[in-house]
């Protein structure tokens, strides 16, 4: 094997560790199911409870803050539990993915069954309880699937390809899952009808997600990069070693900010489309189609960028383009320019989801050289511990901003728009864009820029790139050959 890397990038051609095409597909199908659940949850839950069920947006924000405590408890615990299990005939990561699928589905269905409740306290309690169940399944399935996608190989390019194939497979299902919340929550017909119909639409989407997830998980097979005979670290030492990693500390700050920005985009765009541009369902479909048509070509472009410039520099490019996109969402009043701006935000969001897991994989590789153990589960769990509250924080900030500018004191979607345009009626009744509409522009276009600026700073100080990353890959390759890991993988195949 040659250790030369004439291109000077972060990537090295180390020992062949390609994952079979069939297993890439099964991972992709499983990921499609989990991501459909997450998209319906992130894209529709806020609107369903606030617009449809009339829950006070401030109360919703407080539920998200309390819910973040459960995330702080369960993620590293489930991650450590996953790392501790040895690979056997029932699997390691696959064991947890299969058993968490029913919990995930039950919790998801419960989220949409609150429509008979007509009190603010009742909605608060029901939503909080349902989120606890839903997130338990989400956490176990999500972190184990992410660990599975990274611990089958130490090659960053192969890890990127695994995620890319999953994103290609999920393009149509996730495109539908992304569009449905916008369609449903901007439909005057549905919003003026029975709340149960809207709930059934999202439950039906969950049934489809469960089928994808269950089939893919059932077909998954895995091998292990673990060195035999080495026991896992005690839990407190495992936590200590995780937070001793300088690479992980700067990564997790960066990830916190990026998760906040990207999940906020999914959650608030139905409101932005409705109250800022007064788009009907057909117009929302046009915007979604125009921004989605470049999705798959861009994924392959991102893969080439990663190979050429490495993960860190590719993310720098994405941050610059995201700034342009969010500024456009704040300033532009033309639908065409707004669509282009939204496209920049959405396209860079897809780059984030493509490359985030390979980045954690690199950190786990560096960690293995120090601890002699594979600890993807702990890193993904601790990552979730820190980053999941990001979505709660930014949603809370968004609701505070829009509430300050008047949203929540009236139901915009219940207005009779009759023969006049929605936007004209909003301005006539509630004033100019200095009030409600301005609040939505501010929360959608300017609030994320604060998080992006902090993400840029964290990424700047992230140390695992260039020569250091190349050395980690070479040293780990030598270590795995010495301990016979690659011989074991060949037998497992």
Chain segment 386-396, per-residue pLDDT in tens:
887 787 788 88
Q: Rounded to an integer, what distance in angstroms lies between the CA atom of residue 415 and that of residue 421?
A: 11
The reported pLDDT for the residue numbered 47 is: 86
Chain segment 15-42, per-residue pLDDT in tens:
556 788 899 999 999 999 999 998 898 8
* Whether residue 266 has pLDDT greater than 70: yes
The reported pLDDT for the residue numbered 187 is: 77
* Whether residue 486 has pLDDT greater than 70: no
Domains defined along the chain, listed by start: 21-492 (1.20.1250.20)
The reported pLDDT for the residue numbered 429 is: 46
Range from 64-68, 343-347, 410-414 that averages highest in pLDDT: 343-347
Say how many CA atoms lie within 13 Å of 370 toward its Cβ.
16
Record the tokens describing residue 389, joined without a space.
Answer: 């509250």
The reported pLDDT for the residue numbered 320 is: 97
pTM: 0.80
Region 321-328 average pLDDT: 97
408 band by pLDDT with thresholds 50, 70 and 90:
low
490 band by pLDDT with thresholds 50, 70 and 90:
very low
Q: Is the Cα dihedral 181, 185, 188, 191 positive or negative?
A: positive
* Whether residue 491 has pLDDT greater than 60: no
Chain segment 230-250, per-residue pLDDT in tens:
788 898 899 899 999 999 999
181 band by pLDDT with thresholds 50, 70 and 90:
confident
Which of the 8 DSSP states describes residue 88?
B
* Whether residue 281 has pLDDT greater than 50: yes
Residue with tokens 């939204």: 342
Record the tokens describing residue 153, joined without a space.
Answer: 């190989």
11 band by pLDDT with thresholds 50, 70 and 90:
low
Chain segment 353-374, per-residue pLDDT in tens:
999 999 999 999 999 999 998 8
Counting other chains too, the contacts that 64-69 makes at CB distance below 8 Å and 24 or more residues apart are 64/391, 64/392, 64/395, 64/396, 65/392, 65/393, 65/396, 66/128, 67/128, 67/131, 67/132, 67/135, 67/392, 68/388, 68/389, 68/392, 68/393
Answer with the residue of higher pLDDT: 65 or 351.
351
Which of the 8 DSSP states describes residue 410?
S
In 3D space, the residue among 7, 39, 48 whose CA is nearest the CA of residue 271 turns out to be 48
The reported pLDDT for the residue numbered 42 is: 82
Region 77-96 average pLDDT: 86
* Whether residue 304 has pLDDT greater than 90: yes
Mean pLDDT score of the chain, rounded to an integer? 85
């Amino acid at each position: 094997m040659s250790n030369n890397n004439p291109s000077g990038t972060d990537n090295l051609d180390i020992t062949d560790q390609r994952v079979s095409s069939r297993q890439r597909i099964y991972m992709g199908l499983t990921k499609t199911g989990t991501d459909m659940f997450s998209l319906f949850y992130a894209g529709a839950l806020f609107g369903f409870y606030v617009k449809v069920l009339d829950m006070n947006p401030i109360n919703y924000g407080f539920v998200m803050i309390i819910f973040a405590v459960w995330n702080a408890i369960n993620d590293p615990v489930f991650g450590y539990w996953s790392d501790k299990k040895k690979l056997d005939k029932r699997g390691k990561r696959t064991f947890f993915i299969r058993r968490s699928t029913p919990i995930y589905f039950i919790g998801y269905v419960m989220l949409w069954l609150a429509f008979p409740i007509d009190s603010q306290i009742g909605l608060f309690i029901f939503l909080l309880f349902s989120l606890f169940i839903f997130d338990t399944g989400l956490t176990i399935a999500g972190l184990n699937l992410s660990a599975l996608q990274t611990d089958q190989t130490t090659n960053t390019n192969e890890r990127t390809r695994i995620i890319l194939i999953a994103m290609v497979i999920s393009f149509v299902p996730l495109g539908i899952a992304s569009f449905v919340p916008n369609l449903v929550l901007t439909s005057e017909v549905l919003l003026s009808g029975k709340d149960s119909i809207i709930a059934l639409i999202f439950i039906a989407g969950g049934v489809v997600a469960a089928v994808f997830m269950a089939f893919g998980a059932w077909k998954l097979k895995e091998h292990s990069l673990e060195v035999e005979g080495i026991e896992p670290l005690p839990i407190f030492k495992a936590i200590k070693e995780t937070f001793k990693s300088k690479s992980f500390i700067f990564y997790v700050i960066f990830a916190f900010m990026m998760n906040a920005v990207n999940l906020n985009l999914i959650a608030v765009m139905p409101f932005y489309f409705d109250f800022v541009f007064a788009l009907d369902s057909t117009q929302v479909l046009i915007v979604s189609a125009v921004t989605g048509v470049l999705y798959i070509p861009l994924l392959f472009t991102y893969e080439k960028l990663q190979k050429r410039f490495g993960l860190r520099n590719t993310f720098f490019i994405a941050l610059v383009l995201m700034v342009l996109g969010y500024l456009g969402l704040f300033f532009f009043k033309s639908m065409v320019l707004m669509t282009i701006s939204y496209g920049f935000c959405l396209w860079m969001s897809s780059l984030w989801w493509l490359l985030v897991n390979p980045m954690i994989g690199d950190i786990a590789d560096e960690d293995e050289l120090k601890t002699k153990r594979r600890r993807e589960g702990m890193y993904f769990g601790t990552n979730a511990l820190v980053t999941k509250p990001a979505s709660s924080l930014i949603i809370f900030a968004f609701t505070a901003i829009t509430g300050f500018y008047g949203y929540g004191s009236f139901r915009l979607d219940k207005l009779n728009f009759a023969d006049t345009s929605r936007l004209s009626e909003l301005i006539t009744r509630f004033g100019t864009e200095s009030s409600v509409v301005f609040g939505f522009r501010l929360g959608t276009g300017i609030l994320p820029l604060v998080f992006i600026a902090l993400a840029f700073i964290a990424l700047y100080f992230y140390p695992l790139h260039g020569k250091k990353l190349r050395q980690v890959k070479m040293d780990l390759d030598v270590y795995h050959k010495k301990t016979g890991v690659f011989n074991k993988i060949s037998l497992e195949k």
